[in-house]
Amino acid sequence: MKKQNRFTLDVSINDYKRAKRLLEDAMVNYDCTNSDFIHVPSINLLVAKERSWEGESLTGAEKELHARGQRIITLREMREFLKFTKENYFEIYEEITGVREPLRGEYLDARIDGDICRFAIHYYSFNEEGKIIKNRELINQSETLMRDRRERPSRNRWSPEYGISLENWLANPTKNGFPRKDIEKGKMCYEAPSICWFYPSAVKLIADDTYFYLAARNQRDIDSEEYCGFRAVMLPE
């Protein structure tokens, strides 16, 4: 009788563990339903319609997404996403780029480090087996716009005539996804890649009632900006 009770207890524990794993898998699959994502043909990825994890750290968001087989959208992928949504899901495009309240922002999967002579960008991607891998590329400074374009020279204020063209950036970026040196003028603000002695820079998009801009900022600022979130991408089934 005692053996039967022990056997019954063992089976119950195993059933509980199995049910728990199935529930966890179901929760992940629920969060990753295709209805929450858009397929972008040019990059063959599913991109989340909305940002998540506002105020979360970059490292924390990465761990959450990687555990689900997802990752944060990169700079090049965001460009393709903006081009696609402008033509097919304009409400999403406008939500990201629209110059209006409230203050909105999202970090991209792009860390920049290096020294005065060489800058490098770090990001994750999917390999041929569908696994998430790290990448590092040097930034070609000879073709990349390496100066801020958000303030009129000799004046401490932003001028829309001194920004960059959003359309030109989407149509003709560098290999790394940054604006080119010869980019046309426009109303989009831009903070060029920069290096801090102790922290790498992180790249993000910001929009409010004054401007929309692409910025590369010190990574220590990430945890203090509650309005910034992250956009997930994953492979199609």
pLDDT score of 115: 72
- Kindly state the tokens that stand for 147: 């100066």
Q: Higher confidence at residue 45 or residue 1? A: 45
Candidates 149, 144, 147, 143; CA nearest to 186 is 149
- Kindly state the tokens that stand for 65: 């997404």
DSSP class per residue in 167-191: HHHHHS--TTSPPBTTPPEESBEEE
pLDDT score of 5: 45
Domain contains 14: no
Q: Is the pLDDT of residue 15 over 70?
A: no
Contact 123, 75 (CB under 8 A): yes
d(C-alpha 123, C-alpha 71), whole Å: 10
Candidates 229, 192, 21, 207; CA nearest to 99 is 207
d(C-alpha 179, C-alpha 182), whole Å: 8
Q: Higher confidence at residue 15 or residue 103? A: 103
Domain contains 10: no
**Strand ranges for 6-69 from DSSP E:** 37-40, 45-48
User: 19 - beta bridge partners?
Assistant: none
- What is the pLDDT of the chain when averaged over all its residues? 82
Domain contains 21: no
Provide the residue range defining the domain that includes 181. 32-234
pLDDT score of 157: 57
Domain contains 114: yes
Q: Higher confidence at residue 207 or residue 55? A: 207
Domain contains 19: no
Domain contains 147: yes
120 DSSP assignment: E
CA distances from 126 to 60, 71, 123, 171 (A): 19, 9, 11, 24
Domain contains 104: yes
Contact 213, 108 (CB under 8 A): no
Candidates 20, 37, 109; CA nearest to 71 is 109
pLDDT score of 118: 85
Domain contains 88: yes
pLDDT tens digits, 112-166: 987 767 899 999 999 999 999 999 999 999 999 999 887 655 455 555 568 999 9
**In the chain, what percentage of residues exceed pLDDT 70?**
75
Residue carrying the six token digits 């770090």 = 122
Q: What phi, psi does 138 have (nearest 5°)?
A: -75, 145
pLDDT score of 22: 47
- Mean per-residue pLDDT, 183-188: 92
Q: How many domains does the chain have?
A: 1
DSSP run (H or E) holding 25: helix 2-31
pLDDT tens digits, 35-56: 899 999 999 999 999 998 888 8
- Kindly state the tokens that stand for 18: 């199995």
pLDDT score of 1: 45
DSSP run (H or E) holding 147: none
75 DSSP assignment: H
* pTM beyond 0.85, yes or no: no
